[in-house]
Amino acid sequence: MTFWEVYSSLCEKAGEKPQPLGKKLGAASSTVTQWKSGSIPSGEKLIAIADYFNCSIDYLLGREQKSSLPELTENEQAIVKVFKELTDTQQGEIIGRAKVMAEQNDKEYLRKESV
């Protein structure tokens, strides 16, 4: 696979569009267009992309077969898509609420285990 094939596939799985994500990571639109035409990002951009997708640079360059990204269920993909449309403040609120819910689940599980 080419860099562009891997990058656009990762974008799709993450609910991102390649051009806006490239811009978010500091690449000009013309640079992202060059990637689509076969150019390889600079080392700095490869690191930023690999960090964003939590994968290796080798994976981005098509030298590894598997990404460290787990496959997301449809519900998880829907959550990610909506989450990315929220403001930073709203995202923080959602994270806080999710942590509280997870703690409640843990407490309920421990309570049931002790019975």
- pLDDT (mean) for 2-19: 94
Model pLDDT for residues 41-79, shown as the tens digit of each residue? 999 999 999 999 989 999 999 887 765 556 778 888 889
Q: Length of the chain in residues, anyone?
A: 115
Token pair for 22: 């490239």
CA separation for the pair 11, 85 (Å, rounded): 15
Model pLDDT for residues 12-28, shown as the tens digit of each residue? 989 999 999 999 999 99
Model pLDDT for residues 25-46, shown as the tens digit of each residue? 999 999 999 999 999 999 999 9
